[in-house]
DNA sequence: TTCGTTAATCGTCGATAGACGATTAACCAA
DNA sequence: TTGGTTAATCGTCTATCGACGATTAACGAA
């Protein structure tokens, strides 16, 4: 039972919903902080959006900081590294990564 | 309601279980094809493993080809590209992606 | 043909996810 | 203080997930 696989699976689960992907795109497109505008943008109830934000926060993909009456959400893409590494391992099984020429060809 | 986000979410969902990650690692480590050995390796019931394989197949992450009494499973990592791209976009927010200039995309 | 092997499918069950409205808590401004 | 705004939490409901044993289907070998 790999502990690492559980962590990676949790990260993948955090990304496994269109509304959460949408939220991440919004955060990416917003230079500063954004609060309740998220609710309007995703078109779901406030409580539902709050739950999605909680899931993303628990996974570490975003951070939330209290800023007056609002909350400042920000991306924390570094948390996705284990998942990105896993996908990279699958995608480039025996070849070198981007921009690095092959050493040997597979017969 | 981005159609693309649904596709990416489906891919993430396919990776959102430790048993499925384990299966993918097994396929990666196996040069040729592998059949029922998967069942023994993941330690779950045969029907459960079959269901996980089905999910991976529906997502396009693996392929299954009948080979005599067994089935030859193989990785199809290219299917994960949309998910990998999404993560890459988040990880390198303002910088260009590896060797490729930005493309404006409409959601 | 019959037998043994392999994998998919079926039926069932408990656990989890996702959505909603309603409520609560925290904060700033009158 | 009171009132307005914002976000988290609660309670409830339905839908989906994940696991299992049992059964079925397909195939090769005897």
pLDDT for A51-92, tens place per residue? Answer: 999 999 999 999 988 776 678 899 999 999 999 999 999 987
Distance A74 CA to C25 C1' (A): 23
In a domain, A77, yes or no: yes
Instruction: Give per-residue pLDDT as tens, B19-57.
Output: 999 999 999 988 666 767 899 899 999 999 999 999 999
**Picking from A6-10, A15-19, B83-87, B99-103, which range would have the lowest pLDDT averaged per residue?**
B99-103
Task: Round to whole Å and give the CA distance between A57 and A51.
Answer: 10
Task: Round to whole Å and give the CA distance between B97 and B21.
Answer: 26
Domain assignment of residue B77, given as a range: 3-91
Distance A17 CA to D15 C1' (A): 15
Task: Round to whole Å and give the CA distance between A87 and A84.
Answer: 5
In a domain, A39, yes or no: yes
Instruction: Give per-residue pLDDT as tens, A20-54.
Output: 999 999 999 886 667 678 898 999 999 999 999 99
- What local confidence, expressed as pLDDT, does residue B30 receive? 82
B104 chain-A contacts, CB cut-off 8 A:
none
Identify the H or E element spanning A56.
Answer: helix A46-59
B80 chain-A contacts, CB cut-off 8 A:
87, 90-91
User: The CATH number of the domain where B48 resides is what?
Assistant: 1.10.10.10
The alpha carbon of residue B54 and the mean position of all alpha carbons in its chain are separated, in whole angstroms, by: 11
B15 reaches A (C-beta below 8 A): yes
Nearest-Cα residue of chain A relative to residue B24: A90
In a domain, A75, yes or no: yes
Say whether pTM exceeds 0.75.
yes
In a domain, B48, yes or no: yes
pLDDT above 70 as % of chain A? 79
In a domain, A100, yes or no: no
In a domain, B96, yes or no: no
In a domain, A98, yes or no: no
Contact across the interface for B18 and A5, Cβ inside 8 Å: yes
- What local confidence, expressed as pLDDT, does residue B58 receive? 96
Count of the separate structural domains present in chain B:
1
Instruction: Give per-residue pLDDT as tens, A11-22.
Output: 999 999 999 999
- What local confidence, expressed as pLDDT, does residue B92 receive? 76
In a domain, A43, yes or no: yes
B60 chain-A contacts, CB cut-off 8 A:
none
């Amino acid at each position: 039972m790999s502990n690492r696989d559980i962590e990676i699976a949790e990260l993948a689960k955090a990304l496994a919903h269109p509304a959460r992907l949408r939220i991440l795109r919004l955060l990416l497109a917003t230079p500063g902080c954004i609060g309740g505008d998220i609710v309007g943008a995703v078109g779901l109830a406030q409580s539902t959006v709050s739950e999605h934000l909680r899931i993303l926060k628990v996974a570490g993909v975003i951070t939330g900081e209290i800023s007056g009456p609002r909350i400042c959400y920000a991306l924390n893409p570094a948390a996705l590294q284990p998942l990105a590494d896993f996908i990279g391992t699958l995608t480039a099984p025996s070849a070198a990564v981007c921009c690095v020429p092959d050493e040997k060809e597979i017969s």
